Amino acid sequence: MDVKSEFLNAPLTEDVYLSIPQGIPLDKKQVCLNLHKAIYGLKQAPLAWYNRSTVWLKSINFKPSISDPCVFYRCSTNPVWLFLHVNDLAIFGRELSHFKSEIKKEFEVKDIGTAELMLGISICHLSDSILLSQAHYTELLLDQYGMRNCQPVVTPLIPNQHLDKATEENVVAFKNLNVNYQSAISGLSYLSTATHPDISFAVSSLWQFLENPGIQHWNAFIHVLQYLKGTTSFCLMYQRHQEARVVAYSDEDWGNCRITRQSTTGFVILIGDCLVT
């Protein structure tokens, strides 16, 4: 669902003043306007809207998730889960007509039907499962770095490769490429946390060199893109009738980082057979 004019519904908790617009016969040097509600372009507007929507959701017995304040749930005979991203709402539940009637009484909304795309994540609804993927996002990432027609590889990192601090020569070689390493790794990070957990360790390794990357770190990034080229169609599958049993696994190496001698910890949490985090 899409909330229309969401910022205009949000009252402000602080004084914000506006100059008199053209066409109003008042002296701009003597009079100004006191803004009561948020408007588009105001830096406080997103927070004001979040606070406004949160107050309303709590008034109808929704509670925010401890792990994510943009996820709300209402436990009753008809449980409903809600994900809020600015004015876009993804709503989950067996029967949603009651909630839809509630929100239409409070805000002007547009029901855009079954969710098929949210935050760059494609949602495919099958009779027995739901598939989450980011094929389009991955293709955009490949295009951004000229890797659409690259040769795929089968591992996110080169086997047995250890990334070390860059030498001065390697740093100079990287700077000559005139690319933004931090932005590149951020693009991978979103993939790894959303639908591509198979690149999580590679991304974690590349994150260590954000401050002073060298050419070898950029080459490792390119290798990850080559891996993504061959796994564009990979997705997470959540089966509808599978037992919702939560299982977690964790492991840790022993001082495996050759730079700091620190250990690396990894974990996975699954519901049924499908990865959650």
Q: How do residues 66-81 score in pLDDT, each as one tens digit?
A: 989 999 999 888 899 9
pLDDT at 23 over 90: no
- DSSP code, position 151: P
Predicted pLDDT at 140: 94
Mean pLDDT of 244-265: 80
Q: Where are the beta strands (DSSP E) in 109-223?
A: 109-110, 117-118, 121-125, 129-133
What is the gyration radius of the CA atoms in the chain, in angstroms? 24
Predicted pLDDT at 258: 67
Domain assignments of the chain as residue spans, ordered by start: 2-113, 133-237, 242-277
Q: Please state the pTM of the whole predicted model.
A: 0.79
Distance CA 196, CA 61 (A): 34
Distance CA 131, CA 274 (A): 11
**Ramachandran area for residue 132 (φ above 0: left; ψ -120 to 50: alpha; else beta):** beta
- Structure-token pair, residue 266: 């990894």
Span 128-186, pLDDT tens digits: 888 999 999 999 999 999 999 999 999 999 888 888 888 888 889 988 999 999 999 99
List residues bridging with 275 in a β-sheet: 270
